[in-house]
Amino acid sequence: MRLDRETPSGDIEDRRGARRFGGGRLRIPMRGRRGGISFTGLAALLVVSWLLGVNPLELLNNGGLVESPAPPQQRQQPSAADAAGRDFVARVLGSTNRVWQAEFAKSGLKYEAPRLVLFTDAVESACGTGQAAMGPFYCPGDSRIYIDLSFFEEMKNRLGAPGDFAQAYVIAHEVGHHIQNELGLAQKVQAARRNASETEANLLSVRMELQADCYAGVWAKLADSSRQILEPGDIEEGLNAASQIGDDKLQKSARGYAVPDSFTHGSSAQRVSWFSKGYDTGNANLCDTFEAKNL
């Protein structure tokens, strides 16, 4: 990626180096095999919530995990080696802000940019305590994106999704959830999910995720059209990342088979398709996954 022409966003909160005294880990209730959650299932649940989703804290609570009280924090200064990571996410966020402010203005709307919080290990948000193992998440309660940059190493080494554009895709997807929040869609979907069956609620979640993927594709197209940010292979990195985190692939990797009714983010093919649609058209109006008959 070429981000030298993008102005770094000032909406970065660097909380790295804040570490906890003792405790603060998740306690897993011991239950019987039937209806319980195995460590393999737990890994699958965390990976599914890792990239780009509805608040992973909600998924964890639904999965039967109980969070222990948050202990005090101690501030340590981030090392100089972290500067490049901060600059990268700041430039990507600056690029998304530039693109979406212009797109909102076309409709006579004002885009309120999100803040992005860098943290280490764990972080407090309006949505609860986030753990690094959950991966990046967006909290609509405080309009913030939370990222522990060690997740990018997980993408490369564990998920098979290397590359700087793959990382930018993660950020752009979370910004997509912020757009949904700005437009009031997130609140409507959350209310609908509360009154829906589990299968219906999961489908609503999938539609939310695929729309955020589409928005990420729109950003890539518009940002490249105006600032030429893409290099050969970048889009392929994004498509690979979208494929690697499909619910079907993650479930098959964790337990050998997939259960479509339990999908909350969409299949690999769906995620690739909607990111591609956003990138190919550069039109956010075509990202309405809620009106689409076939996802």
Residues 254-277 have pLDDT tens digits of: 999 999 999 999 999 999 999 999
The residues, any chain, with a CB within 8 Å of residue 271's CB and separated by 6 or more, are 209, 210, 213, 242, 243, 245, 246, 265
pLDDT of residue 62 exceeding 60, the answer is no
**Cα separation, 50 vs 42, whole angstroms:** 12
How much of the chain, in percent, has pLDDT values that exceed 70?
78
Cα 286-49-20 angle, rounded to 5 deg? 130
pLDDT at 61 (0 to 100): 40
Task: Note the pTM of the prediction, 2 decimals.
Answer: 0.81
pLDDT of residue 63 exceeding 50, the answer is no
Name the nearest CA neighbour of 286 among 277, 294, 295.
277
Mean pLDDT, residues 165-178: 98
- 210 vs 76, residue with greater confidence: 210
SS3 label, residue 19: strand
- 253 vs 45, residue with greater confidence: 253
Tokens describing residue 149: 């940059």
Please, what is the average pLDDT of the chain? 84
The residues, any chain, with a CB within 8 Å of residue 18's CB and separated by 6 or more, are 73, 74, 75, 76, 119, 120, 123
**Cα separation, 152 vs 160, whole angstroms:** 11
pLDDT of residue 23 exceeding 80, the answer is no
pLDDT at 65 (0 to 100): 36
Q: What size, in residues, is the chain?
A: 295
- 81 vs 2, residue with greater confidence: 2
pLDDT at 133 (0 to 100): 85
**Cα separation, 202 vs 196, whole angstroms:** 9
Mean pLDDT, residues 164-184: 98
pLDDT, tens digit, for every residue of 189-248?
A: 999 999 999 999 999 999 999 999 999 999 999 999 999 999 999 999 999 999 999 999
C-beta of residue 54 within 8 angstroms of C-beta of residue 208: yes
Q: pLDDT class for 82, splitting at 50, 70, 90?
A: confident
Residue type for position 35: G
